[in-house]
Structure 1
Amino acid sequence: MKLRLFVFVGLLTSLFVSAQAQANSSEVVFMDANRKVLAPNTTLNINKVEDAVFPMGWKKMTEKLYFCNFSDKMVKVKFSYSILAIEDGQLQVCALGNCGGEEKVGNYEIGYRMLFAKSEPEEFKVEYSCPPERKCKVLLKLMIEDEGKDGKVTLRDGATLTLNFDATPTGIVSASLQDSSTYDVFNAQGILLHNQVASLPKLSKGIYIVRQKDSKGLVSTLKYVVR
């Protein structure tokens, strides 16, 4: 009898912990481009390939997403990501007013944001630019900051989302300047070579810094190597 009671109590505890973990992860959620809530630990496969404006011959894949606070209280979230695998090229995450471009496997922090209860979804963008037929895998992470009665701040796991980028040609879309972007091109010494051009000229071999400003005024900076 005691053994049965122990097993029953253990089962209840397990269910409670599982439910609590699910509740924690669903306080803040990721959403797809259509603002549909994605289940925790979802994986999306991205294979819509476009011709990149720069560098010549490169491809790009872009995914627009959202995150949102569905809870009844204000929460502070930490947004970060981990590049799990990358075959050349550069991964850019534009969120919280910042755009960071990375080329190596590693862990990267975007920043913190205070989200009001049942807030409007907040948009962000992930873009992978690369030579043809390359792949990249990235894990997006939201963590929730809690402050105890003693003032101690702790972070607990929130939603995660994995993106698999695959530039294997499956119907490449020709690039257009539908977003009315303009570009500033600098050499490695920081000297401005081209100012606010609508399309990028052919560049000789070397390292360049390209600053892009889209139609919404969002500025992103990327490093490119022309071989």
Structure 2
Amino acid sequence: MIDSAVAATLFGPEDLRVVEHSLGPLPPGMVRVRFGAGGICGSDLHYFRNARTGDFVVTSPLVLGHEVAGEIVEINADAPGISVGDRVAVNPSRWCGQCARCAEGRANLCENIYFMGSASKTPHMQGGFASLFDATPAQCVKVPHAVAYQAAALAEPLAVSLHAVARAGDIAGRNVILIGAGPIGLLTMLAARLKGCGELTVADIATAPLAFASKLGANRTINLFGGDDELK
């Protein structure tokens, strides 16, 4: 049994330390995951700079990270579909299974949801920027061994983008403009292309992400740093 891990732990504004902490025995109903790769979300940066994001204030040491993938190394639960040695993308949301939204099959809207690497609840739910971390089997989505950990770690932001495009309705053949060429914007651009949209325009206030948008297939980019005349 592995009984300790190192984790990127936030103690205060710009006070992020890689520290060792004890894991203890794997609790019943959980699986243990060895970190493979992770993405840094904007919320992680807000936590790092200010020890808060919006109304969520860090009041005790918090392991950051919710865009993560890794390898199952231990199971202490009924875990159909996953085994030790499997690669998984991790859903950072942990729902209660008891509230009205969960009963409706809409666990993403759980009224009591916990979220990895978030100070939304006290005690905080620790995140996945750790050499080892625990999750429920339901949070773990098996991915083929041929899929790189770096790609699997994009599953969470990609899910956001796929949902946004789905909410837009039938966009086949329709021209689309996306405001913001950060990771979510670029993934949304690719999701829109997958749905057969027409011309894709991406707008931002920075040159580098717009160049990346062009590289990924945007038909047109607009730099709004000097104004929005091109949008008119």
What TM-score does the superposition give when structure 1 sets the normalisation length? 0.23
Larger radius of gyration: 1
Structure with more contact order per residue of length (Cα contacts < 8 Å, sep ≥ 6): 1
User: Relative to total residues, which structure has the larger helix share, 1 or 2?
Assistant: 2
